[in-house]
Structure 1
């Protein structure tokens, strides 16, 4: 790959990075608030400058060449460093109360049931003219949706690795068992392994990527005790209220469900690795000003969540009813 001499316009670097991350002239133009012919014109200048085709058009959009892949890392880092140095001094801070627009998010049904109400309540106070569209989380396609500009951000527990997205940790969770408040056999605040193995289970299997509960049961040889596989976690409260089944759920989710259903939480007989709930978005230098506000807003609001797994010991154990108790 041969580069031409002469000056290199910083705007060309921004166009290149966005084309690389989005794979789309349309999304790049929308993000930069320019026309598509302007982006195409700048792409032609980039090709001449670097003496390389840089991107080839395929069925999934623009695919970078080997030369583009070599260029992306240095240009993306340089652009991020420069933006970080310049933006605090030159970028006008958005007024949330005056901001208007619609953001599109992807959430699992757990996210819709537990995180979306908090997010919307905060938005009604801070940015009342902002609205949201929520799409189901499909872990196999969600990064492509973000890349194509169909999403502004998404929340997921699986660790998705892509140079086109940034993963921003929000909080950690642990797993507990959830049962009916009047379960005929599970009475105490914790289960033994024989007790867990003697009960029948309900699990969830779907596209949201939350596979840990089934994996935990499989690790202890209990998948044969699963009597129902559903597609959405939000159905569990209704199912458990009417049956003697057990479900393994994230603790914060369980707390939300037990607040409005005749359910209680019980400790599992084994330790589980904490899961990390994270926000995914484009790199900061590739976000529009409104998307920068959105990511900061979501991080502040949802990152305030402190999982009971992180609480110090003085908050006490679960009571026999499955609620946090006092050590007094």
Structure 2
């Protein structure tokens, strides 16, 4: 082991998880030639090619598959021990975190986070960027953001998913809607009304798909790109919108809108936090993940 650099273990684990020299270099803040040189050393050390190139990225050999689990476990143990010795104290830390959130997240998730951070970590600040699921994984790997919160299921070797909560949907209508009364909307009423729906980069398209499945795309009078516009559009029109319950309850307190139970089951959304994998997080990032899970979960 005297000639074996521990950084080679980290490089191997990330190559296995990302299947990409480029992504591994971004995660380690190294150049691609440096990672390629490390891969050559790994191949010599284990006497195996370890990864073969293909159109879909690097493909691990049998030897690489056998090595991954024990090396990953060993690395995680070492990282945990080192992180414990360089602890993060939220009470005294002066740290800035960068998050990606959709407009739903900014409205319904940021307030409880900020309320909790005030007493637990008064020196911590947040910068929030818009959520675009098409590039957020790469930004996380490059260290541009510390975490993001999203509803789409993202399965990747580069990021770790931490489920926070499940949430159902309700219909949203104007408080003085001329036809819809009570606390529920019937199937016939739902099909007869005109709808507003949201399409955009945040990836939350359940209500739109629900209309498509029921053959109601012809009843869509308006499509917008952000959920934050729904209460303002609904309260001044006769349109029907659909939104996650928690968000709709926030709107009801601040706008002239009512919530109606839907006449069908709409698949609940699962809101999750995504961050780098455990062995790649700093102590501060690990605290952030634990904090979000505790407060929002």
Which TM-score bucket, shorter chain as reference? Answer: 0.7 to 0.9
The reply to whether residue 262 of structure 1 matches residue 256 of structure 2 is yes
How far 1:29 sits from its partner (Å)? 4.2
TM normalised by structure 2 equals: 0.85
2 CA distance for matches of 1:97 and 1:108?
A: 28
Change in CA separation of 1:141 and 1:128 when aligned onto 2, cut-off 3 Å: same
TM normalised by structure 1 equals: 0.78
* 1:174 counterpart residue number: 168
* 2:12 counterpart residue number: 16
Return 5+ residue gaps in structure 2 as ranges.
none
Determine if contact 2:151/2:272 at 8 Å carries over to the other structure: yes
Change in CA separation of 1:24 and 1:9 when aligned onto 2, cut-off 3 Å: closer
How far 1:23 sits from its partner (Å)? 1.6
* 2:107 counterpart residue number: 113
Determine if contact 1:171/1:276 at 8 Å carries over to the other structure: yes
How far 1:156 sits from its partner (Å)? 0.9
Aligned partner (choices 110, 121, 129) of residue 135 of structure 1: 129
How far 1:278 sits from its partner (Å)? 0.7
How far 1:122 sits from its partner (Å)? 1.7
Q: Could you report, residue by residue, the CA deviation over 1:297-328 in whole angstroms, capped at 9, with x for unpaired residues?
A: 1111111xxxxxxxxxxxxxxxxxxxxxxxxx
1 CA distance for matches of 2:174 and 2:52?
A: 56
Determine if contact 2:51/2:64 at 8 Å carries over to the other structure: no
The reply to whether residue 208 of structure 1 matches residue 202 of structure 2 is yes
Superposed CA RMSD in Å reads 3.1
Aligned partner (choices 59, 65, 69) of residue 70 of structure 1: 65
Change in CA separation of 1:15 and 1:99 when aligned onto 2, cut-off 3 Å: farther
How far 1:168 sits from its partner (Å)? 0.9
How far 1:10 sits from its partner (Å)? 3.9
2 CA distance for matches of 1:200 and 1:164?
A: 42
The reply to whether residue 25 of structure 1 matches residue 3 of structure 2 is no
Alignment of 1:31-50 (within 5 A): 45-50=41-46
SS of 2:273's equivalent?
strand
Q: Could you report, residue by residue, the CA deviation over 1:196-251 in whole angstroms, capped at 9, with x for unpaired residues?
A: 11111100011110010001111112111110000000001111111111101111
Alignment of 1:93-112 (within 5 A): 93-112=87-106
How far 1:177 sits from its partner (Å)? 0.2
How far 1:120 sits from its partner (Å)? 2.1
Determine if contact 1:99/1:127 at 8 Å carries over to the other structure: yes
The reply to whether residue 288 of structure 1 matches residue 282 of structure 2 is yes
2 CA distance for matches of 1:218 and 1:55?
A: 43
Determine if contact 1:17/1:286 at 8 Å carries over to the other structure: no
* 1:326 counterpart residue number: none
Change in CA separation of 1:109 and 1:72 when aligned onto 2, cut-off 3 Å: farther
